[in-house]
A = this chain, B = another copy of it.
Amino acid sequence: MTERSRVETGANSVVVDTSRSRFARLRPVAIERVQIADEFWAPGMAINRDITLPAMHRHLEETGRFDNFRWAAGMFAGGYRGKVFNDSDVYKWLEAACWSIASAGPDAGLTGMIDGAIETIAAAQRPDGYLGSYFSHDRANERWTNHDLHEMYCAGHLFQAAIAHHRATGSTRLLEVACRFADHIDATFGPPRDGKRLGADGHPEVEMALVELARETDEPRYRDLAQFFVDVRGHGYLGNAYGVYGTVYHQDHLPFRQMTEIAGHAVRAVYLNAGAADLVLENGERRLREALHALWANMTGRKLAASGGIGSRYDQEAFGPDYEIPNALAYNETCAAIGSAMWSWRMLLAEADARYADLIELQLCNAMRAGASLDGQSFFYENPLEDEGKHRRSAWFEVSCCPPNVARTLASLPGYLYTTSDDGGIWIHLYAAGTASIALADGRVVELRVATRYPWDDAIEIEVGGEGEFALRPRVPGWCDGGAAIDINGRRWEGRATPATYPDVRRVWRKGDLLRITLPMPVRRIETHPFVAGNAGRVAVLRGPLLYCAEAVDHPGVDLRTVHLPDDAPFTVERRPEMLDGVSVLTTTAHSIDPGERWQGRLYRPVGTGETSDQHEVSAIDLTMIPYYAWANREPGRMRVWLPRAPG
């Protein structure tokens, strides 16, 4: 099925449907309308569709995750296997598969798997609408007894899968299942004055899913229920099996509108914030928006790794305190970066502020992409920025939230490139070669044909296939220090194209007009706020949106721990099409400084010992840095993002 025919079927695979959201500044463009045909994303998306999703389907089958539904449906006698939240992996896989067929067209194999999965899920639904395979048979009486058992977390992922399926295929088969479960939850939880229970899920997720379900079904009850689940937190109503209430881990420590510091379990936090942002898109509530601003500012200003990774702590998979940004010991769960991008996407839809898109790009290109191997067959749960060669990806996990989260993000990526606004604007958030067919508010359809080697190259050429007045608003990333250069048909555009803005390139366009955006991307060295002790005296290297790192495999005979980067060492950008599925590496001459002689096996020494005449221990080495997202795809060895500056 071609792109055109899918559009004609009425499929409308938007990821977050703000087309009628009252307080959205930006309107979505469906996945079907955008083809990514670039070097950076398209190969990975194809691998995701052709290799990762079928392989995940096997994992889901082999680990009993489908059998759990069959057991709940009375079709399998083996009992429940695995973690209590394992249904959610099936739902996330399903969502990924639906976005994937929206993007690439129905694939016979994938469609068959989708249909089979949906029938298995539907069979497990109880007559009262409840759906959760763990809580079947003898355990049915444990429903809603402990907010830590992820019942609504799983429900939220069901809803998102059902919405994706409906948008991609037009079928209401799974959407009806989702609505029956949503109705069950709505009948159970809510204000006591309505005869319902106070409470919410210990793991947020259902909030954003309910708002989306309201958008998809025009059922305002679902939005109101999401609002209830945001509002009910922080008042002492959530308690887990141990009767512990008000934990920051569960995002229950404060009423949402009083939160100013992002804290607790990182995925829980950003999922909740995404749901709250969805509410802001619908209701425009000022206090909710202010809390979201404070949380976002705290996260980006004090708790964000250079890769976009968030949630520094292994302990409770949590955000640490301000300025806790470890490298080797960073947790930086793949799901947390993805959840953060989902949150920022909703903020961007509400406010059209390029800073949100900057973070989304940082997190998708680095933190999220590092979560998967280049061959699409193994995944990181934790994403350190420094390693000694032991941290390697796994094909699957006992808690396997991350792999299908990467899969659904890659599959839905076309939906994140463009949006429109009611004033006749087309906003370009992420740059990728390909085409798009974008409907303006007045019904005109604008075709864009994008030619670029971004993020490897700084030039983006957009051939505009549309007539009349409208505005193209290409993002100038915040990292683009001097601003962008914009040319139209070879002539310099005179407007402002400053960093972290969307220049308003409004004119009467003619078919075939050529917009050229140049985003200068010299190699950048950054340093970290001095409160981050582990980065003291160290720099990281970036080019464009990509963070770079050094891997041992490129430096035979060199101990990466000894490598120091002189401030004035000039980097050369070298394209290596054969390496790591095609990357630009950065090369320079650095210093290897062996401390061995001076330290004589000691770990500590009195200050001031042996700090002179070290020059003889310095040797020049060829340093090759690769994009961080591509690390750990070759033979194991040390990896470093932050390199000490060579002594002046």
Contacts and interface: CB of A to CB of B under 8 A. Distances in A.
Contact of A326 (B329, B539, B599, B644): B329
A313 interface: yes
A527 interface: yes
Contact of A536 (B537, B567, B599): B537
Nearest to A537: B536
A530 interface: yes
A557 interface: no
Nearest to A535: B533
A77 interface: no
A533 B534 contact: yes
Interface in A596-625: 599, 601-608
A388 interface: yes
Interface string A304-317: 10100000111100
Contacts of A536: 533, 536-538, 644
A323 interface: yes
Among A323, A329, A524, which residue has the most Cβ atoms of chain B within 10 A?
A329
Given A329-B329, A536-B644, A606 B301 contact: no
Interface string A159-188: 000000000000000000000000000000
Interface in A236-286: none
Q: Which of A386, A388, A603, A608 has the most CB of B within 10 A?
A: A603
A487 interface: no
Interface string A613-648: 000000000000000000000000000001011000
A140 interface: no
B302 A528 contact: no
A526 B313 contact: no
Interface string A580-610: 0000000000000101000101111111100
A519 to B, nearest CB: 16
A526 B300 contact: no
A507 interface: no
A595 B529 contact: yes
Contacts of A567: 607-608
Interface in A501-555: 524-540
Contacts of A382: 315
A151 to B, nearest CB: 24
A321 B559 CA distance: 14
A126 interface: no
Interface in A323-373: 323-329
Given A314-B314, A323-B561, A644-B536, A603 B527 contact: no
A604 B306 contact: yes
Contacts of A644: 530, 533, 536
Nearest to A302: B603
A20 interface: no
Nearest to A538: B533
Contacts of A537: 536-537
A458 interface: no
A386 B534 CA distance: 12
B607 A529 contact: no
A425 interface: no
A314 B529 CA distance: 25
Contact of A607 (B301, B527, B606): B527
B313 A603 contact: no
In the assembly, how many copies of this chain are there? Answer: 2
Contact of A606 (B390, B481, B645): B481
A300 B602 CA distance: 8
Given A533-B534, A533-B538, A537-B537, A604 B313 contact: no
Contact of A604 (B326, B388, B526, B534): B526
Nearest to A534: B534
Contacts of A561: 323, 531
A460 B390 CA distance: 48
Given A323-B561, A644-B536, A525 B606 contact: yes
A603 B301 CA distance: 5
Nearest to A299: B603
A327 B536 CA distance: 14
Nearest to A382: B315
Nearest to A607: B525
Interface in A431-470: none
A606 B524 contact: yes
Given A327-B533, A329-B326, A304 B605 contact: no
B529 A599 contact: yes
A474 interface: no
B526 A607 contact: yes
Contacts of A602: 301, 529
Nearest to A306: B604
Contact of A390 (B301, B321, B539): B321
Given A388-B321, A534-B533, A528 B604 contact: yes
Nearest to A330: B329
Nearest to A325: B603
Given A314-B314, A320-B328, A608-B567, A595 B530 contact: yes
Interface string A48-67: 00000000000000000000
A62 to B, nearest CB: 15
28 contacts: A301-B603, A302-B603, A314-B315, A321-B328, A321-B390, A322-B388, A323-B561, A324-B328, A325-B603, A326-B534, A386-B533, A526-B604, A527-B605, A527-B607, A528-B603, A528-B604, A529-B595, A529-B603, A530-B593, A530-B644, A533-B538, A533-B642, A536-B536, A536-B538, A536-B644, A537-B537, A540-B604, A567-B608
Given A321-B390, A329-B329, A529-B604, 15 more contacts: A301-B601, A304-B603, A313-B329, A315-B382, A320-B329, A321-B328, A323-B561, A324-B329, A386-B533, A526-B606, A527-B604, A530-B593, A530-B595, A531-B561, A536-B536
- The 4 A-B residue pairs whose C-beta atoms are closest, nearest first, are A321-B388, A314-B314, A525-B607, A534-B534
